[in-house]
Amino acid sequence: MSQEGISNTAEAAAIPNDWSGVVTDWSADKQTFQMSWGKAMMWFFLLSDTFIFACFLVGYMTVRVSTTEPWPVSSEVFALHLFGQDIPLILIAIMTFILITSSGTMAMAVNFGYRRDRKKTAILMLITALFGATFVGMQAFEWTKLIVDEGVRPWSNPMGAPQFGSSFFMITGFHGAHVTAGVIYLSVVAMKVLRGHYESKGYEIVEITGLYWHFVDLVWVFIFALFYLW
């Protein structure tokens, strides 16, 4: 082989294969694209959930603009009688404030987790779970009020368009199930953190849990804007 041929062969061997990094990452047991499998799978799950919630909200908006019967006024339907007068959306405002606050405590928990402060991480996660449980309790009160006092059903609505009931129970119920699952998830991880289960493994699980919780909070912002304020 000529000297020129040997030189070209050496240069070709020195050039990295563009796909070699991809193959190496995806064939690894615990990490892909500089990201752990746990975090990657959580992102995939959240992406799929985004499509589901988007379909629900788009379906709700389509039904609302196409219905021929009057749609109930949210400020009246979700008003609470306090201090001798009806205060519109007061319960929903408190629920929203609770979820937004829980995002703050969850972010602090992630921060202390990476500092390996076991006690503060667990306490902040349990506080976040408590906020979530409070939210679910208030949502149960909201459902009870609509079903018992207002007579709203998934198939009927005495205040106007029957699609109101099905849209409300489907969207808020699906989100409430996510919050409930998040409360359980947070509580289990917090107890493991408190027991030192992640001292050797690292505290990335706290960040992964935080991703789920922040997603649940963000979805509620869209539900609040499109269902309660529109």
HEC string for the chain: CCHHHHHHHHHHHHCCCCCHHHHHHHHCCCEECCEEHHHHHHHHHHHHHHHHHHHHHHHHHHHHHHCCCCCCCHHHHCCEEECCEEECCHHHHHHHHHHHHHHHHHHHHHHHHHCCCHHHHHHHHHHHHHHHHHHHHHHHHHHHHHHHHCCCECCECCCCCCHHHHHHHHHHHHHHHHHHHHHHHHHHHHHHHHCCCCCCCCCHHHHHHHHHHHHHHHHHHHHHHHHHCC
Phi-psi region of 83 (alpha: psi -120 to 50; beta: other; left: phi over 0): left
pLDDT tens sequence across 196-206: 999 888 899 99
- 67 bridge partner residues: none
Q: What is the pLDDT of residue 27?
A: 59
pLDDT tens sequence across 121-131: 999 999 999 99
Q: Are the CB atoms for 49 and 43 separated by under 8 Å?
A: no
Q: What is the pLDDT of residue 15?
A: 42
Residues of the chain with pLDDT under 50: 4-15
Q: Work out the angle at residue 138's Cα, subtended by the Cα atoms of residues 137 and 144, and round it to the nearest 5 degrees.
A: 90
pTM for the whole thing?
0.84
CA distance 54 to 115: 36
Rounded to a whole number of angstroms, the CA Rg of the chain reads 25
Task: Delineate the domains of the chain, giving CATH numbers in brackets.
Answer: 42-228 (1.20.120.80)
Q: What is the pLDDT of residue 14?
A: 47
Q: What is the pLDDT of residue 18?
A: 61
Q: What is the pLDDT of residue 11?
A: 47
Q: Work out the angle at residue 178's Cα, subtended by the Cα atoms of residues 122 and 168, and round it to the nearest 5 degrees.
A: 140
Give the max Cα distance, the chain: 99
Q: Are the CB atoms for 175 and 139 separated by under 8 Å?
A: no
β pairing state of 35-36 and 85-87: unpaired
Q: Are the CB atoms for 49 and 41 separated by under 8 Å?
A: no
Q: What is the pLDDT of residue 32?
A: 53
